Structure 1
Amino acid sequence: MKKTTRNIGFAMIAATMIAGCNPLEFDDIQDPNNPSIGSIANNASSEQIQFLITGLESRHRGYVTNISQAWNTFGREIWYLNASDPRFQTDWLGQNGRVPDRSYFGFGNTGGGSWATPYQSIKQADVLQLAAENTVNITDAQKSAVIGFAKTIQGYQFMIPANFVYQNGIRMDVTDPLNPGPFVSYEQALDQINTILDEGFQAFSSAGSGDFPFRLTSGFNGFNTIAGLQQVNRAIAARLNAYREDWQGVLTALNGSFMDLNGNLNAGPAHPYGAAPDIFNPLFYLPNAAVNTIIVVHPSVLDDATPGDLRVQSKFLERTNPVTVTTDAGALVGTHQDARWSNNTVPIPFIRNEELILLKAEAHANLNQADDAVEAINIIRNAAGIGPYTGATSTSALIDEILYQRRYSLWAEPWGHRWIDARRYDRLSDIPTSYDGGAIFTQFPHPQAELSWDEYVGN
């Protein structure tokens, strides 16, 4: 474990070194201790392939802090209270008429974790595929395994900018950083992401069986076989197909995933964290610490909770002293903090069995298969200690129930589920703003850096 943590820490440092100002471009740095692009483009060694895989895992978790703080604020799952910089409240909550623009705080000039960081992961995966395809130092089966892993991570990462700018569209063709492809619509992007994930799954199918031929971090414990990674790929595809409203596609993907109706709801791959040279879990805050910068539970989540819900008891810690930050719209008071992480090295799951079961319920509801939907819903309700579902079984009523359960089961996970869920069901107006006097955003424009890049290339 210590060796794995040290490796990902070193990979993170080195990955940062090879990223230039353009997030789509990797510099050809001649570093005797780490592989440069030139050294791995032709006949990379097995050790260099390993380094790139570990580096990809490091980049894969780069979005966590920004997405968890910002997107979960947009969906009013949390407030990210920061007394040192009021923009985390005023701008992210849309107070005083603030609306997203190309230079919006936290996103506009660099794109942050919602734009540049995912594309850096995507490019890291491109480099990994290039290295695997152009070497004789690994077998064809090993090449297929590496390509399957790279495409699986790419599929996950492309969904981040796609959901950030939504109908403004994203670039999917970024193979050549000096000549990226055009923006494509949200729907086209999702279709192309589906193709990437399918290609990754098929690559795994050509990789034989048994263990993945290279080391993965502890975040993939239980999934570090070819079959296990195929299950992760299909789990990500199930989430994607829900966004595509391909409900049968959701069920098909779930059948190949690690979904287990009788299994541990927390089972799934995760982002690992550790001590230096690695980084700590960015969502951990010391219980009841005397701080004024912290993620707190949004008051509406507490107000709308079902009495006796075990998720509320396990995820939310009522603070001895609430955190208060004053804004132009009044005081924001955080009475509860995140209690999911016991310490600062606990891994953060990036897709879990609980989400998969809820996706199954959602797919069945949209296919008018009420009995199957209720069966899946009751797995979640019974685990939460609130008893079986007894409401109406119309599609509309079931979707109401499923979205409510997703709100508590997937609370503040590093994805912004509620913001995306409300948008895809045209329910953004259901997200309350009365607690903070703000506004709910639908989407963001492309960051200014993206347009500046177009102007630079055009000249």
Structure 2
Amino acid sequence: MKNIKHYIFSTTIVLLSAFMMTGCNLTEVDEVLDPNNPSVAGVLQDASKGELQNMVTGLEARHRNYVDNATELYGSFGREVWAFFESDPRFTIDWLGQEGITPYPNFFGSGGVYNTPYQTIKQANLLIGAAENTTSVTDAEKNAILGFAKTIKAFQYLIPLHGQYQNGIRFDVDEPLNPGPFLGYDEALTEILNLLDEANSDLNGASSTLPFSLTEGFGEYGFDSVAGLQQVNRAIKARASIYAEDWTGALDALDDSFMDLTAGEASMNVGVYHVYGNPPDAFNPLFYPLDANTNQIMVVHPSMIDDAEAGDQRVANKFYQRADPVSNANIPVDAEYQDARWASNTSPIPYLRNEELILIYAEALAQRNQGTDIADAEAAVNLIRDTWGLPPVALANTGEVIDQVLFERRYSLWAEGGHRWIDARRYDRLNEIDARYGTVFTQLERPTSETNWENNN
């Protein structure tokens, strides 16, 4: 399976070949189409299969652009990490709430969790519009494209919603100059869940074979098919359902997802990934060479080490103890550990794995609490613990299961998009986050551009 780099390179070669065959006229400049930013007029009217493929590839490329900002910003809020980036003191002062700082409009470094997801949503809308206005694919093939685009679109809405929380987000952004109203947290989640169901319905009516190719981010574990995309769609719905406290909905979604109640590291890592490569592709933005002499690095928050259980293999796998700790002018202690998850700067980054699905399963069972739910939830938690070399725990009721699930999620899902902050907030436990050298925020403020638009329209 090719990666994103290959498609961009191939498209460039095609464009260069066409240029050379038509000759060189220095008085005329032809428009060069970027597969990641296609001309609207060029693709909304009877797009070819090649153009649709370029747009799918572009959407998958954009889909990964939130990763570093969400991991570093939300991770700092939840004290999973410290962003020791000496290039600007606001990475620690503002992000950790030092010196009396509270969230403000256009909060420093938050564009990647607001603007960036909406750029991806815009790309998804363009792909949807192109698919709906072309004769180059059958209706069944069109459904496959729509199902893919809507699934990615739904996932992206969750990213700004985590930051804005009770401020809500705009859901209807199909017309940039005529956006819909802000929806509150619960209403936005409902729309996201409905969009996932709509995408799944499209995939139900899709062709047996995808009319486009996906990268190894989907293909590594067999999700580059209609059935595979439906499993991913249901997995995302399970995640969104626990945010909405729809426990039965989460369990129903898991039934049709790729959840596998099997112990072992291989089972835990089954999932979908963002892939990276050498130029012209992008590098893994979370990779930092071990023991590099740098003051530009994301480090492990010391509470992750302090609160860990002895023998937890997740600690050994994810946290590397540096030979020389890293210092930051605004933190009075040095950081001893850095991220150890990536073999190279082209390693893929997961955005949804089986390990998370198993923990969603345990949480939803405990909250539903019917029949054998508590016992089944306990078994799921212990499956995770057994995988990472920890002894089983006995859990007698909903409260005990939830306490344990939240603990396991801290280590199982460390630095995978800010789960710790999101989890603590939804269980009203922000006060349990280690707030040393700062404070813990509840949410960000609405960007000024959005406020200005509201005031003038």
TM score, norm. by length of structure 2: 0.91
What is the aligned partner in structure 2 of residue 406 from structure 1?
Answer: 409
1:377 aligns with 2:387: no
CA–CA separation in structure 1 for the residues paired with 2:9 and 2:62: 11
Q: Residue type matched to 2:211 in 1?
A: P
Residue 288 (structure 2) aligned to one of 271, 285, 294: 285
What is the aligned partner in structure 2 of residue 249 from structure 1?
Answer: 249
Q: Is the 8 A contact 1:100 1:444 kept in 2?
A: yes
Q: Residue type matched to 2:302 in 1?
A: P
CA–CA separation in structure 2 for the residues paired with 1:378 and 1:372: 10
Cα RMSD for the two superposed structures:
1.7
What is the aligned partner in structure 1 of residue 212 from structure 2?
Answer: 214
CA spacing shift, 1:8–1:353, aligned 2, 3 Å? farther
Q: Is the 8 A contact 2:4 2:61 kept in 1?
A: no
Matched ranges for 1:25-36 at <5 A: 31-34=31-34, 35-36=38-39
Q: Is the 8 A contact 1:326 1:332 kept in 2?
A: no
What is the aligned partner in structure 2 of residue 7 from structure 1?
Answer: 7
Q: CA deviation at 1:103?
A: 3.0
Q: Residue type matched to 2:351 in 1?
A: F
What is the aligned partner in structure 1 of residue 313 from structure 2?
Answer: 310
Matched ranges for 1:127-166 at <5 A: 127-166=126-165
1:422 aligns with 2:424: yes
Residues 110-129 of structure 1, C-alpha deviations (whole Å, 9 max, x = no match): xx111111011111111101
Q: CA deviation at 1:98?
A: 0.4
Q: Residue type matched to 1:93 in 2?
A: L
1:324 aligned counterpart, secondary structure: strand
Q: Is the 8 A contact 1:4 1:218 kept in 2?
A: no
Residues 11-56 of structure 1, C-alpha deviations (whole Å, 9 max, x = no match): 99xxxxxxxxxxxxxxxx9834444111111111111101110010
1:264 aligned counterpart, secondary structure: helix
CA spacing shift, 1:9–1:256, aligned 2, 3 Å? farther
CA–CA separation in structure 2 for the residues paired with 1:411 and 1:225: 29
CA–CA separation in structure 1 for the residues paired with 2:396 and 2:8: 48
CA spacing shift, 1:217–1:11, aligned 2, 3 Å? farther
1:97 aligned counterpart, secondary structure: coil
CA–CA separation in structure 1 for the residues paired with 2:383 and 2:285: 30
CA–CA separation in structure 2 for the residues paired with 1:358 and 1:165: 25
What is the aligned partner in structure 2 of residue 452 from structure 1?
Answer: 452
2:258 aligned counterpart, secondary structure: coil
CA–CA separation in structure 2 for the residues paired with 1:363 and 1:184: 25
CA–CA separation in structure 2 for the residues paired with 1:119 and 1:233: 19
What is the aligned partner in structure 2 of residue 346 from structure 1?
Answer: 347
CA spacing shift, 1:92–1:150, aligned 2, 3 Å? same
Q: Is the 8 A contact 1:46 1:137 kept in 2?
A: yes
Structure 1: which 5+ runs fail to align? 13-28
CA–CA separation in structure 1 for the residues paired with 2:435 and 2:11: 42
CA–CA separation in structure 2 for the residues paired with 1:133 and 1:103: 36
2:329 aligned counterpart, secondary structure: strand
Q: Is the 8 A contact 1:141 1:206 kept in 2?
A: yes
Q: CA deviation at 1:9?
A: 7.2
CA–CA separation in structure 1 for the residues paired with 2:8 and 2:315: 33
CA–CA separation in structure 2 for the residues paired with 1:102 and 1:208: 45
Q: Is the 8 A contact 1:9 1:279 kept in 2?
A: no
1:351 aligned counterpart, secondary structure: strand
Q: Is the 8 A contact 2:3 2:216 kept in 1?
A: no
Q: CA deviation at 1:104?
A: 2.0
What is the aligned partner in structure 2 of residue 15 from structure 1?
Answer: none
CA–CA separation in structure 1 for the residues paired with 2:104 and 2:3: 44
Q: Residue type matched to 1:129 in 2?
A: I
Q: CA deviation at 1:453?
A: 3.7
CA–CA separation in structure 1 for the residues paired with 2:351 and 2:50: 27
Matched ranges for 1:360-399 at <5 A: 360-368=361-369, 369-390=373-394, 392-399=395-402
1:346 aligned counterpart, secondary structure: coil
Q: Is the 8 A contact 2:169 2:182 kept in 1?
A: yes
CA–CA separation in structure 2 for the residues paired with 1:104 and 1:445: 7
Q: CA deviation at 1:4?
A: 4.1
Aligned length: 430
CA–CA separation in structure 2 for the residues paired with 1:164 and 1:174: 18
1:350 aligned counterpart, secondary structure: strand
CA–CA separation in structure 2 for the residues paired with 1:349 and 1:118: 17
CA–CA separation in structure 2 for the residues paired with 1:30 and 1:237: 44
What is the aligned partner in structure 2 of residue 270 from structure 1?
Answer: 273
CA–CA separation in structure 2 for the residues paired with 1:260 and 1:9: 37
CA spacing shift, 1:30–1:234, aligned 2, 3 Å? farther
Matched ranges for 1:322-333 at <5 A: 322-327=325-330, 330-333=331-334
CA spacing shift, 1:344–1:49, aligned 2, 3 Å? same
1:47 aligned counterpart, secondary structure: helix
What is the aligned partner in structure 2 of residue 298 from structure 1?
Answer: 301
CA–CA separation in structure 2 for the residues paired with 1:253 and 1:245: 13
CA–CA separation in structure 2 for the residues paired with 1:404 and 1:9: 44
Residues 313-352 of structure 1, C-alpha deviations (whole Å, 9 max, x = no match): 111110000001121xx42411010000010001001100
1:174 aligns with 2:160: no
CA–CA separation in structure 2 for the residues paired with 1:146 and 1:30: 29
What is the aligned partner in structure 1 of residue 239 from structure 2?
Answer: 239
Residues 202-259 of structure 1, C-alpha deviations (whole Å, 9 max, x = no match): 00000032x3220111111110010000000000000000000000111100010011
Matched ranges for 1:22-101 at <5 A: 31-34=31-34, 35-101=38-104
Q: Residue type matched to 1:375 in 2?
A: A
Q: Residue type matched to 1:249 in 2?
A: G
CA–CA separation in structure 1 for the residues paired with 2:30 and 2:449: 28
What is the aligned partner in structure 1 of residue 226 from structure 2?
Answer: 226
CA–CA separation in structure 1 for the residues paired with 2:420 and 2:340: 19
Residues 167-226 of structure 1, C-alpha deviations (whole Å, 9 max, x = no match): 0011111011001011011100000000100000000000032x3220111111110010
Q: CA deviation at 1:69?
A: 0.8
Q: Is the 8 A contact 2:366 2:398 kept in 1?
A: yes
1:73 aligned counterpart, secondary structure: helix
User: How much identity, in percent, do the aligned residues show?
Assistant: 51
Q: Residue type matched to 1:363 in 2?
A: A
Q: Is the 8 A contact 2:2 2:215 kept in 1?
A: no
